[in-house]
């Protein structure tokens, strides 16, 4: 008798990518004795995605409606009908190794962890998108996150996407539907606080396509920063110091601007070391060519500035008691890709 693995996929307006994604999904090479089903939760797409899915739905490809139209509600709807002993999350904009699901199953069996996944690997086309990917991938430019280190194997605070034994959701609960962003980080923090383990395996390989414009990147990280504040309110802590450092830095800069008439040297003292660090990190960007390196300072500023500003705005909304359900109706709930 086969064991089942269920791939759960939140989706909205992905007509340009859904066909290739499904083809790669069902080309996964599973271990002997395993069968795969996919459950795609469509967030009321209006670009032809829903029609394509309806035409191709069947025993192995189940399609359900996601009226909430955000990732957390889509994941939970898909989870509610998935029959697998193992649950694997996939996103449409990523490309997966043929043994991706098999390595998720193997890592769960090998480690006994409550969630496993691979490193976040960004690969872009063109100089700007490659610069966005290079900054994302740099451990030093992302606060030392192990989840960006492609060959790291061990316990981490979060992983890309994730794969769980069904028992993990019975023990730790499903995804928080109040969160438009960071629902995966919050779920991993919940696992860790309850004594569970999150494991990154270098054998679980995929890559995703980052945003291709600074404006889109800024909107994305503004939201990440904003919703991180609500995660911290829920748990009374940040999962890592790197989640608050950009906001603290921007707050210090804004404070220095306010005191410029009295202490004009404070602002240059803050900005000069950061500017040198940004330029040095860009110049030393591994194997990247100069077309990429020259774009990296603007990319770094966009990452850090948008995330910091989003965190500050989110912290203000948290301090004034704005409930997450109200925030979900704001501009920070509009998905940005």
Domain boundaries, the chain: 3-212, 215-333
- Determine the Cα–Cα distance for residues 335 and 91; give it in Å rounded to an integer: 14
The rounded mean pLDDT for the chain is 87
Report pLDDT digits (tens) over 212-267. 899 999 999 998 888 888 888 777 766 566 767 787 788 887 887 888 788 878 88
User: How many C-beta atoms surround the C-beta of residue 36 within 10 A?
Assistant: 19
- Determine the Cα–Cα distance for residues 75 and 127; give it in Å rounded to an integer: 34
Report pLDDT digits (tens) over 54-101. 999 988 899 999 998 889 999 999 999 999 999 999 999 888 999 999
Q: Is the pLDDT of residue 331 over 80?
A: no
Phi-psi region of 69 (alpha: psi -120 to 50; beta: other; left: phi over 0): left
- Determine the Cα–Cα distance for residues 159 and 147; give it in Å rounded to an integer: 6
pLDDT of residue 328: 60
- Determine the Cα–Cα distance for residues 181 and 175; give it in Å rounded to an integer: 11
154: helix, strand or coil: strand
Domain 3-212 homologous superfamily, CATH? Spore Coat Polysaccharide Biosynthesis Protein SpsA; Chain A (3.90.550.10)
Residues 92, 98, 99, 101: what is their CA dihedral angle, to the nearest 10 degrees?
30
pLDDT of residue 332: 63
- Residue showing tokens 């962003």: 181
pLDDT of residue 74: 94
Q: Kindly report the CA angle at 69 between 40 and 179, in degrees rounded to 5?
A: 105
Please return the burial class of 199, using the count of CB atoms within 10 Å of its CB with bins 0-12, 13-18 and 19+: buried
């Amino acid at each position: 008798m086969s064991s089942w693995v269920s791939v759960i996929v939140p989706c909205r307006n992905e007509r340009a990518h859904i066909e290739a994604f499904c083809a790669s999904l069902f080309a996964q090479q599973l271990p002997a004795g395993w069968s795969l089903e996919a459950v795609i939760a469509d967030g009321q797409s209006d670009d032809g995605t829903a029609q394509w899915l309806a035409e191709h739905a069947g025993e192995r490809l189940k399609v359900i409606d996601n009226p909430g139209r955000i990732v957390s509600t889509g994941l939970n709807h898909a989870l509610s009908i998935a029959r697998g002993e193992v649950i694997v999350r996939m996103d449409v904009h990523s490309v997966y190794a043929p043994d991706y699901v098999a390595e998720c199953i193997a890592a769960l069996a090998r480690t006994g962890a409550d969630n496993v996944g691979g490193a976040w690997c960004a690969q872009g086309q063109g100089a700007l998108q490659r610069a966005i990917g290079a900054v994302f991938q740099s451990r030093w430019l992302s606060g030392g996150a192990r989840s960006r280190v492609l060959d790291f194997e061990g316990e981490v605070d979060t992983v890309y996407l994730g794969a769980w034994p069904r028992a993990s959701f019975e023990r730790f609960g499903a995804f928080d539907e109040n969160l438009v962003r960071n629902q995966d980080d919050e779920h991993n923090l919940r696992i860790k606080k309850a004594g569970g383990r999150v494991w990154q395996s270098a054998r679980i390989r995929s890559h995703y396509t980052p945003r291709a414009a600074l404006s889109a990147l800024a909107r994305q990280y503004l939201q990440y920063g904003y919703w991180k504040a609500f995660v911290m309110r829920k748990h009374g802590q940040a999962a890592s110091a790197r989640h608050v450092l950009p906001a603290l830095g921007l707050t210090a800069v804004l404070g220095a601007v306010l005191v410029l008439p009295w202490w004009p040297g404070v602002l240059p003292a803050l900005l000069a070391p950061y500017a040198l660090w940004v330029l040095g990190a860009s110049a030393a960007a591994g194997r990247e060519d100069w077309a990429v390196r020259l774009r990296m300072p603007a990319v770094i500023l966009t990452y850090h500035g948008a995330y910091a500003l989003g965190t500050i705005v989110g912290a203000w909304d948290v301090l004034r008691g704005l409930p997450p359900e109200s925030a979900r109706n704001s501009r920070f709930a509009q998905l940005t890709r």
